[in-house]
Chains A and B, each alone.
Chain A
């Protein structure tokens, strides 16, 4: 080769290297290398096709300079293109990986992988050598193309196991061995050495491109798979940390998919499949129908379902289930997925709070009874006085000379009536002191108002308060706990009485009304006391807010929560003509 030829060859080779490097640097720098089909395809197109093609326009002049005919330009171009493309495709990936990641990529693999790589490499060298030895023996010419395919499984193996890097390394080994053995040997009987090499190059390029793409596709799939597994592990970990059990159910396949934590929450073993039966067997017998319907069944539910499960050790847990149904475009159910949340602690806290509310309400009732005790004692004393007087009168009648049996019977009748009256007072008192758990029943508001007034009877008399009741008798029924509702009425009335302490005696009056407004029963307690301080309405319902010298500030707050638990609302307002009105509404029922 002459100097200009060498220079031109050198220049074009330099150009292809520089161009490829620039292209890789500029366009393909997304790492990791050859991890996706797309980046590998780009690499193949740019480095394996565009760059060699461009540089081949210059390279084709080298043979012309050495005396080749200009007519053969396109032949020379093709030879240049093929040799550069093969070089780029076989060496490029390895160079890039080695340059950027270094040999540690290889050494970082475990020993099995290293051994596998070495096995593939050795096998390739051996197989390729055998192929050439066989073909060089000129024995089976017609069999030759088939022999060339013998190394292909090894290349595929390498691509499958080591991705695009493996594929390119295998291609490189193949190319080196094949080209080394073909130079100087008479592999192809017909044609020149150049055409033989060209044929080899085309063969290797056509093998390299699909192998590189295959390797990167496999790599991509493997990475996606790994990513998926990681995501799943993270999700399961997060769900377990948040005490959430995840599950999914396809109506056509019984076993559920469920996280390990989900199984643990249901108290199920890790191994056997989770089926409808195993889930239901863990659920509290009373809740099975609900769970069967909403969790396993097909009914959509917006509200979360709360249910109990029995652990293998007999402990009871509260779980909350939320479910979503996935449907295809046609609206048919594909599957259902949902979460179980452990709400045992919340349930326990709720029960505790509920218990405390009951206790508090009960204590307030007890203190109300304390405040009323004087009046209640009087209520009891009256019948007792009558009983004693009647009994002693009867005694006197019996010891007297003229016994009038009719008078005697009258005295005894009165004793009985008064005794019953006294026991009614005690009954009312006992009801008020009872620490009931809120038995719900139909309550007649009219009767409730009247019985509350009877409790307050003595208080009203000694405070010189006139009362007026405006209530439709026998029609206004609400559903609730009569004890608690009476407590509310009693509290509101007592407040009214205290507010009227400084009102002129002739003005003191308490008006109680109840009326039905649509499907609500409205009850009003109207007094003529001092009213509510301007702007203080909102604070009245706060716990521990009080305007009384010796108030606890719990009365109205408890009243309000009682009314709210009965599905109603309590409000206070000032009257136009003085005093205040306490008003509450409760849902009416038809009894």
Chain B
């Protein structure tokens, strides 16, 4: 059943529908919050609160699809369950393509609604957990020195210490030191674990296509910029 801090945001222009859905979801232990229009929902929207939105498609002002669009523009990943009296195939396809969790027809059965809301809750939870994980990876990456980060991209590209040393124009011993410090900071013992970790933040490995000689520290710049950008956007959520 629902987690303690997870909320279902109900948006419908019909007060009696809002009231009934609230009652229904409460029997399943969900917390709910109701809004009579898309605008009212957007005004109060806090992305940090875990929850999903159950939207009516036809509403005065912004309709359901427009609200979905607005949320996407804000890069806020709020799972949406559509609830409509008359859904056509094109409309439902549009909604699903835009990332809706489900597209339910009114009047909705309890099992269907709870199943969809449950799925939305799971998605929200997974997304938040992934976010959390990503944030922790970024936090560790932030702690690395520039050289250690450089070595990391080479390591996850599967290169040997000797090759790395040649690429970076230093001796193998130095690379070994950087490498062991980096592994310690990242909290991993094996290269495999390191790769899994960096994949969570989609960190690009050093490009081995660079066969015709070393490039100046350009890759390093790119990666640094990439990482900080990710970190910023994740913090912004």
* Chain A positions near chain B (C-beta within 8 angstroms): 374, 377-378, 381-390, 392-393, 395-397, 400, 407, 410-411, 414, 417-418, 421, 458, 461-462, 464
Query: Of B28, B63, B85, which is within 8 A of A396 by CB?
Result: B28
A458 engages B58 (CB within 8 Å): yes
Bound-state CA distance A328–B16 (Å) is 81
Residues of B contacting A395 in the complex (Cβ-Cβ under 8 angstroms): 110
Residues of B contacting A421 in the complex (Cβ-Cβ under 8 angstroms): 16
Query: Of B14, B63, B110, which is within 8 A of A382 by CB?
Result: B14
Besides A387-B107, A393-B110, A396-B28, 16 other CB < 8 A contacts?
A382-B106, A387-B20, A388-B20, A388-B108, A389-B21, A389-B23, A389-B110, A389-B113, A393-B20, A393-B26, A396-B110, A407-B23, A411-B23, A414-B19, A461-B13, A462-B58
With CB as the reference atom, state the residue of chain A lying closest to B58.
A462
Bound-state CA distance A447–B108 (Å) is 33
B85 engages A386 (CB within 8 Å): no
Bound-state CA distance A458–B23 (Å) is 25
Number of interface residues of B (CB under 8 A): 26
- Closest Cβ–Cβ distance, residue B128 to chain A (whole Å): 28
What are the 6 A-B residue pairs with the smallest beta carbon separation, nearest first? A381-B85, A389-B20, A396-B27, A386-B20, A392-B110, A388-B107
Contact A377-B86, Cβ < 8 Å, known A384-B107, A385-B106, A387-B107: yes
Bound-state CA distance A535–B113 (Å) is 56
Residue among A387, A390, A392, A411 with max Cβ neighbours from chain B (10 Å): A392
Residues of A contacting B106 in the complex (Cβ-Cβ under 8 angstroms): 381-382, 384-385
B60 engages A461 (CB within 8 Å): yes
Interface members, chain B 20-66 (any A CB < 8 Å)? 20-21, 23-24, 26-28, 58-61, 63
Residues of A contacting B109 in the complex (Cβ-Cβ under 8 angstroms): 388, 392
Query: Of A374, A377, A383, A390, which is within 8 A of B24 by CB?
Result: A390
A385 engages B28 (CB within 8 Å): no
With CB as the reference atom, state the residue of chain A lying closest to B85.
A381
Is B17 an interface position by the 8 A CB rule? Answer: yes
- Closest Cβ–Cβ distance, residue A219 to chain B (whole Å): 97
Residues of A contacting B13 in the complex (Cβ-Cβ under 8 angstroms): 461
What are 18 sample pairs from A and B whose C-beta atoms fall under 8 A apart? A382-B17, A385-B83, A385-B85, A385-B107, A386-B17, A388-B107, A388-B108, A389-B20, A389-B21, A389-B23, A389-B110, A390-B23, A390-B24, A392-B24, A392-B109, A396-B24, A414-B16, A458-B58
- Closest Cβ–Cβ distance, residue A176 to chain B (whole Å): 120
Contact A378-B58, Cβ < 8 Å, known A393-B23, A414-B20: yes
Bound-state CA distance A462–B64 (Å) is 11
Residues of A contacting B28 in the complex (Cβ-Cβ under 8 angstroms): 396
